[in-house]
Chain A
């Protein structure tokens, strides 16, 4: 891979974005050395993760897109602060979740709540939402009724499948807190699900 600026790579020299030969940590080292192509590989590799995590938390297509974009900009700007002992995805999740929580805080208030409700009920959602199965649509709706702090935990642990310890690292809380919020969030989801679809549904 050629060392170069953060720009469109020259024709014929574009790196293979699906190439798993380079680990995230190696790519980070290359980015630090000024390799723009390496950064682009990181972005391509993790964009879906960043976008969908943000989307499941903030539940707005446009906001999720902005959050994902901003997250990668911060990754680039603060790449020197990345601790190589940590997984890159953990660091990225931290940034995404913090931005998503900031987004939710900004949207607090009556008008914002209306906006969220509208986003949940009316928005076509992500373009891909049309491709969701009926079951996914149901899960999406019920997830929206779970309060923010528990929804974040469910998104990280049960949707994205992060280990509990990694969830604790992302949220900067201890393992016991993760366990308690996880249990509470699941109970809330279950209650909402059963209230809406009955205990036997799905």
Chain B
């Protein structure tokens, strides 16, 4: 009995691999020998077979076709865009294109928006925003919260003021900050 129990412990972790034929020959022989005299391990092997059958029921070979009409067109279009072919006439109408390409206009629009915002901020900083931002209002209180630049920009004020790069713009922006 003890020998048999020990055999079960040794074999139990190999049974599923035995069932799927994933053991080395000598391992498989040992499992087969043990199962010849152990009903519990044979039952375990049956359970493993049933589990494999359950999983195999999800196999693509048994599954219905899941290819949408635009699947090939999506691939085709991407390949054409990739430069291998330039047959524009072969492209399907936009409505028929694959799903993966529908988001592109949105991505482009967002990229353009970000670029425009960066351009505006950069232009404001370069042509007049720079000297005005650090200005301290006459009441001595910095309005606008902690996110206002306060350490680096004051050093630039004299530079821009003296250099006259954007003297005209500075007062306007300063006035905005005071508000």
- Measuring CB to CB, which residues of chain A are less than 8 angstroms from any residue of chain B? 5-8, 36, 40, 43-44, 47-49, 51-53, 55-56, 62, 65-66, 68-70, 72-73, 76-77, 126-128, 131, 133, 135-136, 138-140, 143, 154, 157-161, 164, 179, 182-183, 186-187, 189-190, 193, 199, 202
> Within 8 Å of chain A (Cβ to Cβ): is B141?
no
Q: Are A73 and B66 in contact, CB atoms less than 8 angstroms apart?
A: no
Q: Are A72 and B75 in contact, CB atoms less than 8 angstroms apart?
A: yes
Partner of A51 from the list B52, B58, B60 (CB cut-off 8 Å) is B60
Partner of B58 from the list A8, A136, A164 (CB cut-off 8 Å) is A136
Q: Are A69 and B66 in contact, CB atoms less than 8 angstroms apart?
A: no
**Interfacial chain B residues near A69, Cβ < 8 Å:** 71, 74-75, 78, 98, 100
Q: Which secondary structure characterizes the binding site on chain A?
A: helix
**Interfacial chain A residues near B98, Cβ < 8 Å:** 69
**Interfacial chain B residues near A135, Cβ < 8 Å:** 54, 57
State whether A158 and B90 are in contact (beta carbons under 8 Å apart), knowing that A76-B79, A126-B66 are contacts in the complex. no
Partner of A140 from the list B56, B58, B84 (CB cut-off 8 Å) is B58
State whether A131 and B71 are in contact (beta carbons under 8 Å apart), knowing that A161-B59, A190-B51 are contacts in the complex. no
The chain A residue with its CB closest to the CB of B73 is A8
* Bound Cα distance from A190 to B44, whole angstroms: 11
Q: Are B17 and A128 in contact, CB atoms less than 8 angstroms apart?
A: no
* Bound Cα distance from A63 to B44, whole angstroms: 37
**Interfacial chain B residues near A6, Cβ < 8 Å:** 76, 79-80, 84-85
A to B CB contacts below 8 Å, 30 in the list: A5-B90, A6-B84, A7-B80, A7-B85, A36-B85, A40-B72, A47-B65, A47-B67, A47-B71, A48-B60, A48-B63, A52-B58, A52-B59, A52-B66, A62-B99, A66-B100, A69-B98, A69-B100, A73-B78, A126-B66, A133-B57, A140-B58, A159-B56, A159-B59, A160-B59, A182-B16, A182-B22, A186-B16, A189-B55, A193-B51
State whether A51 and B67 are in contact (beta carbons under 8 Å apart), knowing that A43-B75, A66-B99 are contacts in the complex. yes
Shortest Cβ distance from residue A143 to the other chain B in the assembled complex, whole angstroms: 7
* Bound Cα distance from A56 to B60, whole angstroms: 10
Ordered nearest first, which 8 A-B pairs have the shortest CB separation? A52-B60, A7-B90, A158-B55, A128-B64, A49-B60, A139-B54, A186-B16, A5-B85
* Bound Cα distance from A157 to B20, whole angstroms: 9
Q: A161-B61, A164-B22 are in contact. List 10 more A-B contacts (CB 8 A).
A: A7-B85, A43-B75, A48-B60, A51-B60, A56-B58, A66-B99, A139-B55, A164-B20, A179-B17, A189-B55
Q: Are A48 and B67 in contact, CB atoms less than 8 angstroms apart?
A: yes
Q: Are A53 and B55 in contact, CB atoms less than 8 angstroms apart?
A: no
* Bound Cα distance from A131 to B82, whole angstroms: 37
Partner of A7 from the list B17, B59, B60, B87 (CB cut-off 8 Å) is B87
Q: Are B67 and A202 in contact, CB atoms less than 8 angstroms apart?
A: no
Q: Are A65 and B71 in contact, CB atoms less than 8 angstroms apart?
A: yes
**Interfacial chain B residues near A72, Cβ < 8 Å:** 75
The chain B residue with its CB closest to the CB of A51 is B66
Shortest Cβ distance from residue B136 to the other chain A in the assembled complex, whole angstroms: 43
**Interfacial chain B residues near A154, Cβ < 8 Å:** 55
Q: Are B76 and A158 in contact, CB atoms less than 8 angstroms apart?
A: no
> Within 8 Å of chain A (Cβ to Cβ): is B50?
yes
**Interfacial chain B residues near A47, Cβ < 8 Å:** 65, 67, 71
Shortest Cβ distance from residue A67 to the other chain B in the assembled complex, whole angstroms: 10
Shortest Cβ distance from residue A159 to the other chain B in the assembled complex, whole angstroms: 5
Shortest Cβ distance from residue A189 to the other chain B in the assembled complex, whole angstroms: 7
